[in-house]
Amino acid sequence: MAPRAGDGPGSSTGPEPPSERQPGVGQGPRRVEEPHVESSEVDCASSTRAPSEPGAGARRDDEGGEAYARFQEGSRLLEAGNTHAAVVALERARDLEPDKGSIREALARAYFRSARVEAARAEFEKVLELDPVNDYAHFGLGMCLLKVGDRAGARGHLKLATIMRPGHEAYQDALRRASA
């Protein structure tokens, strides 16, 4: 379902990444979508073997491939609106590759869409630990804070997102809602 302009925080779809970047794929372009929200305000795995041990590299490659497969599966499920199944696949990917911001960002979106706001908040916070200048993570964290009623905290993150990506209407709309 396409997000609608003017919806407030609280939808089952949650914050959507800007469209200039593919969701969860490095720092390349993201998709631009406005968050679909309702007016009700609901809105590299480390191997267990040391690198010098025989087979450690192969195991890491296998886990990386598995993580990527789970990430792709979770992203497809999320796009199709099957948020709960997406969470399962993306949690597995995160467990295999805990330092991949792209996986954590997609998982945060899935949590948000399935109304698990505190889990989404924790994932967006981890994304920001990994990449403090991730504008979408600031936006997502701001939306989570707005949803739980922390308007001041939301404004801070939404201002940062807006400054980082000045022409993005979804960021500006969310900041206006947090400032109202």
DSSP string, 90-153: HHHHHHH-TT-HHHHHHHHHHHHHTT-HHHHHHHHHHHHHH-TT-HHHHHHHHHHHHHTT-HHH
Give the pLDDT confidence of 150-171 residue by residue, as tens digits.
Answer: 999 999 999 999 999 999 999 9
Q: What is the model's pLDDT at position 12?
A: 39
CATH code 1.25.40.10 for 19-179 = yes
Confidence of residue 32 (pLDDT cuts 50, 70, 90): very low
Q: Domain coordinates of the chain in residue numbers?
A: 19-179
- The residue whose two tokens read 């886990």 is 63
Q: Round to whole Å and give the CA distance between 80 and 114.
A: 13
Own/partner pairs, 54-58, CB within 8 angstroms, 24+ separation: none
Mean pLDDT throughout 104-127?
98
Question: pTM for the complete prediction?
Answer: 0.70
Residue 47 or 125, more confident: 125
- % of the chain surpassing 70 pLDDT: 66
C-alpha dihedral sign at 66, 73, 161, 147: negative
Has residue 72 got a pLDDT over 80? yes
